Structure 1
Amino acid sequence: MSSQTSERTSPAVSKAAGGSELISSQGKTSIADTVVQKIAGMATREVSGVYKLGGSGARALGALRERIPGSGGPSASQGVSVEVGERQVAVDLDVVVEYGVAIADVAEAVRRNVITAVSRMTGLEVTEVNVSVDDIHVPGDDAEDQEPARVQ
């Protein structure tokens, strides 16, 4: 291509990390915090070694919500908090990991997966992903949490 036919980028155009234009001369694309929260939550749950998301309070509230008929089950954004700007996003995660996994390796895998998913789906640059491990899941803990069946 010659320099005359090459793509011209005006100051009003912003290319995001994923290559898509979030702000252009034809309009602006804004992405709600809840959208980014759900993407980050789903990407975190995909990582082997992550048992659940959320601190103990959020998990208790989520357990109550799951018991309400028609509530739709656990929230995809539980344990996820984000700050979304026009071009960048920062993500904070509260996770529970499985007993026996290397926590540093799980945290790094979570970071990679969240950055990839959020960048690809939104076009936003992920500036940081902070992972807070709030608990560890020990096999057998679930048996204590479950009520016996009322009907057999």
Structure 2
Amino acid sequence: MGELGYLSIGVGYTIPFQMFAASWIKADELAGKLNQLNLPGVTFRPMHLKPFYSVGKGEHLQGVQVHITNFRKAALSDIQFYVMQEIATLYPEHKVFEQADKGRFDMFDKVSGSKEIRERFSKNNRWEDVRDYWYKDVEAFRKLSKQYYLYK
């Protein structure tokens, strides 16, 4: 989601890539919704901040810090989609792909591998709508890449 420049992801603050925040988010509310999902290996802490630069510079922002409790269980790439999902539920006027700068979609699509992820997610703002597509090549990649592993 960082490619969209839509929320602060901690760049410009002391915890880059460990948080999601915006001026219109209510920290306790978003943390509560995300924690209700009971995602394995992760807890969301409510937070308030004023970034030093980048998205939200000098503004009072609220959001969540992503606290990893078990790196083996946490599905890190899923987190951004769950955050976007819960934002769409709590703040329907702030659905990410309806509000983000359309000029930044190309970078999101490149990072995601194609426009398919963005287009599928945009329909209902639900992670379950893209999950299978997101993970479709994982096993083939693991098998192919295994020959290059230095450690087991």
- TM-score normalized with structure 2 length: 0.30
Q: If each structure's strand is expressed as a fraction of its own residues, which one has the higher value?
A: 1
Larger Rg: 1
| TM-score normalised by L of structure 1 | 0.30
Which structure has more helix as a fraction of its residues?
2
Higher relative contact order (CA 8 A, sep 6+): 1
